[in-house]
Amino acid sequence: MQTVKTDLNQIRLISWTLAIASARNQLDIPGEYIWAFPKDQTFEEIRARSRSIFSSGNSIKDPEVISYIQGLNLSQHLLNPWIVNEFQEQFPLWVKAGTRYKLDNFDLFKYVGFSAGTQESFLNFYLANHTQRFRVFRGDYWWHMDIWTKINLKWAYIEDDDLKPGDICICSCPFALLGDVHPQFNWLIDECNRIGIKLLVDFIYLPNSADCVNIDLSADCIEEITFSMSKTFPVQCAKIAMRMRKTKPNDPMQMSNDENICNRLSGGLGLEIINKFPIDYQVTKYLEKQSHWCEKLGLKKTKVVHFGLGDDYTNYGRSGNDAWCSPFNEQQNRYNLGMLYENEFLLKKLMLY
């Protein structure tokens, strides 16, 4: 088997260069979070940013999508009481039109609900199941573990204990850490079915994936699936997500849906995007870029177009916890390549392409 050697030297140089360029407002496309902007040009600020350049799972900030979004008149959606409903109706069709994955029995999920980011769905899931013990594979979205710890819910990594009655599972698919289906995902479905416990499948990176997800959603344990728009399109902080369930839930989020008080600006934006761009827009556009950068930097390509895997480039010289943002964030080996795709013009000028 061919081993890939991560070019940490080149990766570090690029990370520092992009961090300084971010501080000096020289990026082709700037970041969108406070943590993605060094607040000044001091060494400490730039160092901190350099260590998070490849973090996060957020979408590629594609210039065409950004330009399209900037040209929209979103305020009109505030006047349309049906806008969120329309988004909820169109969304499953948009997902079904995708050809790079296979979701058997997707139609079973007939209760479609707008979610203010997947975090709203997760919080409702925690609330509805707060007496259960939550279970995730190590390396899944750190926010779960962080919140469970903060609000004193019971939880354990799946690797650390057998699944038992009274447990409830969450698993991203493709898996967040790997950019591919978790090697034990099918085992997890079988085991959840056998024991009679539930499994929320988070399709967070599904739209940006190719040729890895093939799942029969009729499995009894899978009652709820979630989708996030901000991992596919540059709509971070617009909080656009969708929850789909086989049965109608009875929770605060569903009440917001039933009351028709969901965020119409976000719903309208989501609808405009899915009407304009196919679900695999980013895969089609960036698959070759992924090959280029993975080859150049010695990263292993994943099935998610904006991820590569390699050694941790921040793991040198320092002691202590290197986890970014949360002690449960164990994703330092996963590289979000978005910054490289977005800043191609700059990186070419600097001969770093």
Partner 1 sequence: MLIQLSFKNIIDNPKCRIWFNTHKFYDGIVPEYYEIQSDILSKECSLRIDLYDKSPADTLVENGKIIRDKSFELEKVIIDSYDIQELIWNSEYVAESGEIYPGCLFFGPNGTYTLNFYQPVVHWILHTRNEPGWEEDYEYYDQACKLLKQI
Residues that bind partner 1 (CB under 8 A): 12-13, 15-17, 19-21, 24, 26, 40-43, 46-47, 50, 316-319, 346, 349-350, 352
Neighbours of 317 (CB within 10 A): 5
Q: How far is the CB of 42 from partner 1 (least distance, A)?
A: 6
Nearer to partner 1, 67 or 319 (CB): 319
Report whether 178 contacts 212 (CB < 8 A). Answer: no
Cβ(134)–Cβ(170) below 8 Å: yes
In whole angstroms, how close is the CB of 7 to partner 1 at the nearest point?
Answer: 13
List of residues 6+ apart from 226 with CB closer than 8 A: 115, 118, 121, 122, 200, 201, 202, 203, 204, 241, 242, 243, 244
| CB-CB contact of 165 with 198 (8 Å) | no
Environment class of 134 (CB within 10 Å of its CB; exposed 0-12, middle 13-18, buried 19+): buried
Residue 23 or 163 with smaller CB distance to partner 1: 23
CA distance 116 to 264: 11
Q: What letter represents residue 348's amino acid?
A: K
Between 8 and 215, whose beta carbon lies closer to partner 1? 8
**CB 46, min distance to partner 1, A:** 7
For residues 266 and 295, the answer to whether their CB atoms sit within 8 Å is no
Main-chain dihedrals φ then ψ at residue 309, nearest 5 degrees = -115, 140
Residue 331 CB, shortest distance to partner 1, in Å, is: 21
Q: Residue 51 Cβ, how far from partner 1 at the closest point, in Å?
A: 10
Question: Which residue, 18 or 212, has its beta carbon nearer to partner 1?
Answer: 18
| For partner 1, the closer CB: 20 or 156 | 20
Shorter beta-carbon distance to partner 1: residue 323 or 352: 352
Closest distance between partner 1 and the C-beta of residue 314, in Å?
10
Q: How is residue 43 written in tokens? A: 């060494």
Using the minimum distance from each CB to partner 1, give the nearer residue, 287 or 346. 346
Residue 227: CB minimum distance to partner 1, A: 37
Spatial CA neighbour of 112 closest among 266, 264, 280, 241: 241
Whichever of 124 and 332 has its CB closer to partner 1, that residue is 332
Rounded to a whole number of angstroms, the minimum distance from the CB of residue 98 to partner 1 is 39
Which phi and psi angles does 250 have, rounded to 5°? -130, 80
